[in-house]
Structure 1
């Protein structure tokens, strides 16, 4: 992730608690609680971490050695929407509060770029595509920097998000796109704008045209192998995703997030899992994957 200082405390810690949505049974509560403390992961997460920060930088945002990890309880929230069902609102597991986006914001950056190009009556230029593709597939930060500037940074992002249906996402200040704040339910709204059907009466599903939606879907379905973790752990067949990870210099703790579309028993699900406070990226990936599995087990009734 880019070198980014922590935003003001009030902007981070203002919890927009909407209460807990109905959790489908005590088993899901137990599974989510277990995910917060259990360790281990099936993926080589540290190798992926090296891809998502500037070459030669330390893992903390400041470029300086990270502080020793503080004692802190991890947080995690998941949101799931059955794209083939009749519901329009996701089921949220945990408190739907804000988290740092880290690199999942790159999907929103691309959606904003595409919406702006549509407004101008044009397709993306060759140069824009040369930034967009590594930004999604390899989580390239230099490409994200270029497109963040092009879309008009936070004001451009937030203007597009109003049309895409997002209501709880606040762009990072200045160049700090990775410190954009969002909620799991807002990430489902973004995913619905990308993976939804324009014929459905969804707020954001008609903003991006079919060509734009197909472009984002294709890139998310083709991320680099070392980044194919996260919500894909709950998929029985196909997936398209974007992950984000960031070690905070102030605490040494990790933000680890994963958003995307997965297929389980022939049903397409939109899934967003956001977390922070993990001692290591490995622990954060394990937390996200176990939470995704638990949420999908509940949502699919298996």
Structure 2
């Protein structure tokens, strides 16, 4: 990370896990606003509630889930946020998922859920790793499928660390009204060098959305290079 260009005033935290060995690494320990990466958390909580009730998702829930993950639709997210019991429901699910540093946003403000890069890796493990997951194989497969069909204009972020088309992700972006600065986050699974990696890159304080995307992508490349031995991440984007 020392060779990743971080603009003055910006902050970044990144974590990576190699799924085969279970070995990981992380940089930075700050708590960040999730913006839209919380949508994976909302989906996981929804799937867990359905499992508890011994049912599959309804047609309406599937419609909302598809819009929420693939297109990052906020109205669909708000509907499912209410369905899972807002922050209280999210926090209850996260406790079962083993997340220790995530707190749901107040009232309808799901995008202001607070989290850490390490907790995002714990969440991704629930989706991409069978061992220890509270989600069934069917639930995990459904979440992975949606994260692998992200709308074309949103295919940036941790996918920059993949060495081909092997990725599944969810991004988040939020321009804070008080400062005008950007929160840019990206989480997901990438394939590089024949191995699968879970990666979470969280950032805040970028002057532009493009600058924040470049930072998240650079952090993701640097994280995966810990295992692949590749060069450190540059600042170019790959959207």
- TM-score, length-normalised on structure 2? 0.94
2:68 is equivalent to residue 135 of structure 1: yes
2:139 is equivalent to residue 212 of structure 1: yes
2:162 is equivalent to residue 235 of structure 1: yes
Superposition deviation, residue 85 in structure 1:
1.2
2:94 aligns to what SS in structure 1? helix
Deviation string for 1:117-173 (max 9, x for gaps)?
000000000000010001000000000000000100000000000111111000000
Tell me how far apart the structure 2 counterparts of residues 109 and 256 of structure 1 sit (CA, whole Å).
19
2:202 aligns to what SS in structure 1? strand
> What count of residue pairs does the alignment treat as equivalent?
229
1:251 aligns to what SS in structure 2? coil
Tell me how far apart the structure 2 counterparts of residues 139 and 299 of structure 1 sit (CA, whole Å).
31
Aligned match for 1:111, one of 44, 67, 73: 44
Aligned match for 1:78, one of 1, 14, 25: 14
* Runs of 5+ unmatched residues, structure 2: 231-239
- 1:173 maps to 106
- 2:233 maps to none
2:94 is equivalent to residue 161 of structure 1: yes
Aligned match for 1:92, one of 18, 22, 26: 26
Tell me how far apart the structure 2 counterparts of residues 86 and 78 of structure 1 sit (CA, whole Å).
16
Tell me how far apart the structure 1 counterparts of residues 197 and 220 of structure 2 sit (CA, whole Å).
11
Tell me how far apart the structure 2 counterparts of residues 232 and 74 of structure 1 sit (CA, whole Å).
21
RMSD (CA atoms): 1.0
Aligned match for 1:101, one of 24, 30, 34: 34
Tell me how far apart the structure 1 counterparts of residues 157 and 107 of structure 2 sit (CA, whole Å).
29
1:208 aligns to what SS in structure 2? coil
Tell me how far apart the structure 2 counterparts of residues 119 and 255 of structure 1 sit (CA, whole Å).
34
* Runs of 5+ unmatched residues, structure 1: 1-27, 38-71
| Structure with the largest fraction of strand | 2
2:186 is equivalent to residue 250 of structure 1: no
Aligned match for 2:202, one of 267, 274, 278: 274
Q: Once superposed, which parts of structure 1, at least 4 consecutive aligned residues long, lie more than 4 Å away?
A: none
Deviation string for 1:240-292 (max 9, x for gaps)?
00000000000000000000000001100000000000001010001111111
Superposition deviation, residue 78 in structure 1:
0.6
- 2:235 maps to none
Tell me how far apart the structure 2 counterparts of residues 123 and 296 of structure 1 sit (CA, whole Å).
35
Larger Rg: 1
Tell me how far apart the structure 2 counterparts of residues 192 and 212 of structure 1 sit (CA, whole Å).
13
Superposition deviation, residue 86 in structure 1:
3.9
